[in-house]
A = this chain, B = another copy of it.
Amino acid sequence: MLDNAIFVKTNILKLSKPFNLESGITLENVEIAYETYGKLNKNKTNAILVCHAFTGDAHVAGFKEGTKKAGWWDKLVGSGKGIDTDKFFVICSNVLGGCQGTTGPKSIDPKTGKPYAMNFPFITIKDMVSLQKELVSFFEIKKLVSVIGGSMGGMQVLEWVNTYSDMLMSAIPISTTMKHSPQQIAFNEVSRRSIMLDPSWNNGDYYEKASPELGLSIARMIGHITYMSDISMEKKFSRRTKTYNKSFDVNFEVENYLKYQGDNFVKRFDANSYIYITKAMDYFDVSEEIFKNHINNLKFLVINFESDWLYPKYQSLDIIKLLRLKHIPCTYCEIHSTYGHDAFLIDIEEEARLIKPFLESIKI
Contacts and interface: CB of A to CB of B under 8 A. Distances in A.
A185 B246 CA distance: 14
A221 B239 contact: no
Contact of A233 (B23, B182, B252): B182
Interface string A164-182: 0000000000000001111
A222 interface: yes
Interface string A184-216: 011101100110011100000000000000110
Contact of A221 (B189, B238, B247): B189
A262 to B, nearest CB: 9
B180 A285 contact: no
B218 A122 contact: no
A127 B204 CA distance: 44
B197 A218 contact: yes
A279 interface: yes
Interface in A249-286: 252-255, 258, 275, 279, 282-283, 285
A228 to B, nearest CB: 8
Nearest to A195: B197
Interface string A301-328: 0000000010010000000000000000
Interface in A223-243: 224-225, 228, 230, 233-234, 236-239
Contacts of A233: 181-183, 186
A189 B254 contact: yes
A138 interface: no
Contacts of A258: 186, 189-190
B190 A222 contact: yes
A204 to B, nearest CB: 10
A337 interface: no
A255 B278 CA distance: 13
A313 to B, nearest CB: 11
- In which size bucket is the chain A interface? 35 or more
A24 to B, nearest CB: 12
Contacts of A215: 197
Contacts of A179: 239
A124 interface: yes
Contact of A182 (B190, B193, B218, B239): B239
Contact of A237 (B118, B182, B199): B182
Contacts of A285: 239
Contacts of A275: 248
B246 A279 contact: yes
A258 B187 CA distance: 11
A159 to B, nearest CB: 15
A279 B252 CA distance: 11
A260 to B, nearest CB: 13
19 contacts: A181-B230, A181-B239, A182-B238, A183-B228, A183-B233, A183-B234, A185-B252, A186-B224, A186-B225, A186-B255, A186-B258, A190-B194, A190-B258, A193-B218, A194-B194, A197-B198, A230-B312, A239-B285, A252-B282
Nearest first, the 8 A-B pairs at minimum CB distance are: A182-B254, A182-B233, A182-B237, A186-B225, A183-B230, A189-B255, A246-B283, A190-B221
